[in-house]
Structure 1
Amino acid sequence: MVAEARSAVFAPDSFKGSIGAAAAAAALAAGWGSVRPADLIVLRPVADGGEGTLDAFAAAVPGAQRMSVVVRGPDGRATDASWLLLPSTPEASLGTAVVELASTSGMELLGDRRLPWDADTTGFGQAIVAALDSGVSRLVLGIGSSASTEGGIGLLTALGARFTDAAANPVAPGARGLLSLADADLEGLRPLPPGGVLVLSDVTNPLLGLAGAAAVFGPQKGLGRDDVPRVDDGLSRLAGLLPADPQTPGAGAAGGTGFALLAWGARLVPGAAEVAELVGLRDALAEASVVITGEGSYDGQSAAGKAPAHVAALATESGVPVALAAGRITEDASTSAFAATVSLTDLAGSTTAALHEPARWLREAGAVLARSL
């Protein structure tokens, strides 16, 4: 069945910290094409709102333009970044801006460092301001891979809000500022663009509590066991000052950035499904004979909102066989939806080797899948 494929769609997510979604799709396709050169190759890299979201749109939307901007990175240093301008549509006559938290305020920008008390989302807000200043009709914001747990106060400050302590002084950047937070003034907050703001997230956690931003994601960003309740208390203080429900699914995304965006008036949606729709994956699958997806680590949580699982679901709906290439596939992962799977770690002999040359092993994975299918 798959051996007669005439159209192969490549729709991986990024391999976090290793290779972006667009480059991963190209490498897989190159390997596939080395075995099946006559096949029609269609690249539709996907994302769930985190790292690689800009790449996914840039690769799939004709006429997309990268717009350079210098922002304050999560460590306070000037950081070169970009946002993406998508062409005008009936829904957004002056174009849509795609802005990615990962490339402006994300954990990857810190390398091996963690700044749990001081990293913030100011740079993300500055990139949003640059997009708004350009006059776009709509914003699409990806909020995965945050380096901070500060409830989005840096983002909102960049948009014109003021957060002060009991002495009416501005609070410190980052989660540290939550400890002294006493008041929030939203009078100067920028209005939403005419077409609104769509926020892409891959988690449904609330802002507070045992399933909230500090408890679940804080340790990944460097918060210690004793730090978590202090930050959660600070986020609770913030929740009492902003006009949004902290229990809204996704409010805890990106260290509470989801909550800040809700307070601004944005709409949160599942990132993987929305990106797939916006890049035209469903239409590509209608003409496909096989689809190949993937991500860095396919594990027990991948089925809950991650991009490869959504790609597999769409492929199943369309009756198209789907294969998976992942940096690693853990023992608790369910792979029953896939006609074939391949692990880069297995191909390379170790995780270190796979991470060192991801494009090489993705090309090899594409060739392996072309032969096995």
Structure 2
Amino acid sequence: MPSDAASPVLEDVLPDGARVLFCGTAAGTVSARVGAPYAGPGNAFWPTLHAVGLLPGRLAPTAFRRAGEHGVALTDLDKHASGSDAEIGAAGFDPDAVAAKVRACRAPVVAYTSKTAGSTALGRPVAYGRQPERIAGAEVWVLPSPSGRARRFWDAGPWHALADRVRELAPAVLCAPDKLRGACDAAGAARALADGARDAGGWALELPVADGGEGTLQAFVDGGHADPVAVRARDAHGREGDARIAVLRGPGAAPAADVATAEADPGPTGDRADGAVEADRGPTGDEAPGAVGADRGPTGDRADGAVEADRGPTGDGAGPTVLVEAAEAIALAAIPEDERHVGRASSAGVGDLVRAALDLGASRILVAVGGSASIDGGAGFLRALGVDAPADGAALVADPTAVDASLAGLDPRLAHVALELLHDVDAPLCGPDGAARRFGPQKGAGPDEVEAHDAALARWAATLGGDPDAPGSGAAGGLGFALRAVGATARPGAEAVLDLVGFDRLARFADLVVTAEGSVDASTLQGKTVDAVVRRATATGTRCVVAGGRVEDDAAAELQRRGADRVQAIGPADRPLATALAAAPGELREAARTATTELRRP
């Protein structure tokens, strides 16, 4: 019904740089009552946006504001009335206001969600599909109404055609890089890539990712997937200081009804034939509020394969999932080069972090290892959790058998926790490719120390039992082996991170994935972030472009064999390191701009 209220019945959603602006006539009766768009019974709007690929999942009407995160803008011709067309009339329709909103959000397409809306705005009878006029520079489309009252006249064809055109004009670009060490962290790299995609008219989604090593926790926090918690922990040399763990976001922290449970194509659920009365319609309102959504990534929808943060090891919702990053406590980068000493270094600080997670009531603890300063086989970690074990690398070398192999004294709370090891390398514990020989020199170990630690790690494995060759056992100086000894399951870190942030769903939604890292080389192909992104984007059928600070030809060729559309260095190789680091953000931006421009077909 018409209203004299100064405020609108429902708020608009007008994201800057929107891909498409949907405009109906006015809020439907149900939408006005619940304060959410498209909330009327049987309305096809939300399931259709997902079915045609304009949303990565089906949003419930009450989560309508999140549509803006994916470039979908919403408004009405009459913002101050509600009800059916017959009830509200056309006196309050304001096409000029709609044109102003098109300019404000810079949408390349405005789509009227009924013939009534389209004919009123254009001042003439209309057919479905693209119209010859433009409004504020935007293409104009008219679509069959999604209203449940018009379901017998529903035709999804024009909606699919619109979605195809939106993808041509404003392709969705998923920016999923790792850090470029020394130049920018993963969030900074994602931001630079996103700026480039937007420069070229794309709709960018920023998804900083990691491989389970240093920077993993920050990538989760920056991507909105976790909340940091300040704790105290020892560093690699035993000095207590500030550190962080992070509580992953999940069902317990999710706003109610963000995601509807059904996601299939709605079929003929909706629209009006010529002249039919349209109630409960407009960008204000259709589908009844859906069920409370499960784990959400940056999509507002359940992410395929995502870990549900509130579930315990049996899925009973006993407590949160907590992310622990070894480098938050015992980072090699935190120890000056002239102070690095593998004998003095200990993994005890990671035990401190795990105890802090237990104090939070965690029922699932993910331990991301990598970037550590120690090679103590995880002995310090076990000692911090109550096991009689060597305190540091020197004590391990002195007597690798000085451990209670029964693990008596281990914090009993661990028996009720699902513990997971996220490893960034597949290295075994000992041997030519093991923790000491492969990583010891960069941690300050001389040749004799490397040999001594390698021999000690072999005896340590024999004493504790377990498989020293299991993938990830040599990660973080053998911390991976100790984690396995206390019951942790192991996963490649990059794969686990992509699952946790809902990468696959976003990649299916996107028209292009752009990823990056500092150096694309042989190590990239061993389960690092870029390799995982390429393989999984390819599996979803989405094109993927790789940018690297430096790129080795053999690695680039193999990534292309695995599905990458293009692998490119972002700048010339023959320049000073400081120059390359300073230029990296701008060059990432240019790489994404070029890739997006090639994708667009105006």
Query: Which TM-score applies when normalising by structure 1?
Result: 0.89
By how many angstroms is 1:353 displaced? 1.6
What is the aligned counterpart of 2:449 among 227, 238, 243? 227
Task: Indicate yes or no: 2:306 matched with 1:80.
Answer: no
What is the CA–CA distance in structure 2 between the aligned matches of 1:67 and 1:107, rounded to whole Å?
22
Task: Indicate yes or no: 2:193 matched with 1:28.
Answer: yes
Distance 1:257 1:345, change over 3 A: farther
What is the CA–CA distance in structure 1 between the aligned matches of 2:199 and 2:585, rounded to whole Å?
14
What is the CA–CA distance in structure 1 between the aligned matches of 2:571 and 2:331, rounded to whole Å?
25
Does the 8 Å CA contact 2:176/2:207 hold for their aligned counterparts?
yes
Distance 1:150 1:252, change over 3 A: same
Aligned residue for 1:353, secondary structure, equals helix
What is the aligned counterpart of 1:158 among 377, 384, 387? 384
Determine the structure 2 residue equivalent to 1:91: 311
Distance 1:49 1:343, change over 3 A: same
What is the aligned counterpart of 1:180 among 372, 377, 398? 398
Query: What are the superposed Cα offsets for residues 190-218 of structure 1, whole Å, 9 maximum, x if unpaired?
Result: 13263411111122222122222112221
What is the CA–CA distance in structure 2 between the aligned matches of 1:195 and 1:174, rounded to whole Å?
26
Where in structure 2 are the equivalents of 1:230-309 lying within 5 Å? Answer: 230-309=452-531
Query: Which TM-score applies when normalising by structure 2?
Result: 0.57
Q: Percent identity?
A: 38
Distance 1:209 1:42, change over 3 A: same
Match for 2:393: what amino acid?
A
What is the CA–CA distance in structure 2 between the aligned matches of 1:231 and 1:57, rounded to whole Å?
34
Determine the structure 1 residue equivalent to 2:410: 189
What is the aligned counterpart of 2:177 among 6, 12, 24? 12
Aligned residue for 1:250, secondary structure, equals coil
Does the 8 Å CA contact 2:550/2:573 hold for their aligned counterparts?
no
Structure possessing the higher relative contact order (Cα contacts under 8 Å, 6 or more residues apart): 1
What is the CA–CA distance in structure 2 between the aligned matches of 1:270 and 1:5, rounded to whole Å?
34
Aligned residue for 1:66, secondary structure, equals strand
Determine the structure 1 residue equivalent to 2:73: none
What is the CA–CA distance in structure 2 between the aligned matches of 1:193 and 1:345, rounded to whole Å?
51
Structure 1 stretch displaced more, 351-360 or 192-201: 351-360
Distance 1:10 1:112, change over 3 A: farther
What is the CA–CA distance in structure 2 between the aligned matches of 1:140 and 1:196, rounded to whole Å?
8
Determine the structure 2 residue equivalent to 1:49: 212
Distance 1:81 1:368, change over 3 A: farther
Does the 8 Å CA contact 1:342/1:369 hold for their aligned counterparts?
no
Does the 8 Å CA contact 2:197/2:203 hold for their aligned counterparts?
no
Match for 2:453: what amino acid?
V
Structure 2 residue runs without a partner (length 5+): 1-163, 253-307
What is the CA–CA distance in structure 1 between the aligned matches of 2:588 and 2:199, rounded to whole Å?
13
Match for 2:311: what amino acid?
E
Query: What are the superposed Cα offsets for residues 127-152 of structure 1, whole Å, 9 maximum, x if unpaired?
Result: 11111111011001100112111101
Does the 8 Å CA contact 2:538/2:564 hold for their aligned counterparts?
no
Match for 1:187: what amino acid?
A
Match for 1:295: what amino acid?
E
Distance 1:318 1:109, change over 3 A: same
Query: What are the superposed Cα offsets for residues 130-185 of structure 1, whole Å, 9 maximum, x if unpaired?
Result: 1111101100110011211110111111111122xxxxxxx4x4321112224213
Distance 1:346 1:368, change over 3 A: farther
Determine the structure 2 residue equivalent to 1:103: 328
> Which of structures 1 and 2 has the bigger CA Rg?
2
Query: What are the superposed Cα offsets for residues 65-99 of structure 1, whole Å, 9 maximum, x if unpaired?
Result: 10011221123333322111013446332110001
Aligned residue for 1:235, secondary structure, equals helix
Distance 1:152 1:261, change over 3 A: same
Distance 1:16 1:79, change over 3 A: farther
Does the 8 Å CA contact 1:53/1:142 hold for their aligned counterparts?
yes
Query: What are the superposed Cα offsets for residues 247-275 of structure 1, whole Å, 9 maximum, x if unpaired?
Result: 22221111111101011111111111111
Does the 8 Å CA contact 1:43/1:59 hold for their aligned counterparts?
no
Match for 1:54: what amino acid?
L
Aligned residue for 1:226, secondary structure, equals helix
Match for 2:343: what amino acid?
W
Does the 8 Å CA contact 2:173/2:596 hold for their aligned counterparts?
no
Where in structure 2 are the equivalents of 1:121-160 lying within 5 Å? Answer: 121-160=347-386
Structure 1 stretch displaced more, 48-57 or 271-280: 48-57
What is the CA–CA distance in structure 2 between the aligned matches of 1:357 and 1:348, rounded to whole Å?
13
Match for 1:22: what amino acid?
A
Distance 1:332 1:118, change over 3 A: farther
What is the CA–CA distance in structure 1 between the aligned matches of 2:228 and 2:181, rounded to whole Å?
21
What is the CA–CA distance in structure 1 between the aligned matches of 2:242 and 2:584, rounded to whole Å?
24
What is the CA–CA distance in structure 1 between the aligned matches of 2:456 and 2:363, rounded to whole Å?
34
What is the CA–CA distance in structure 2 between the aligned matches of 1:161 and 1:82, rounded to whole Å?
24
Distance 1:369 1:108, change over 3 A: farther
Aligned residue for 1:322, secondary structure, equals strand
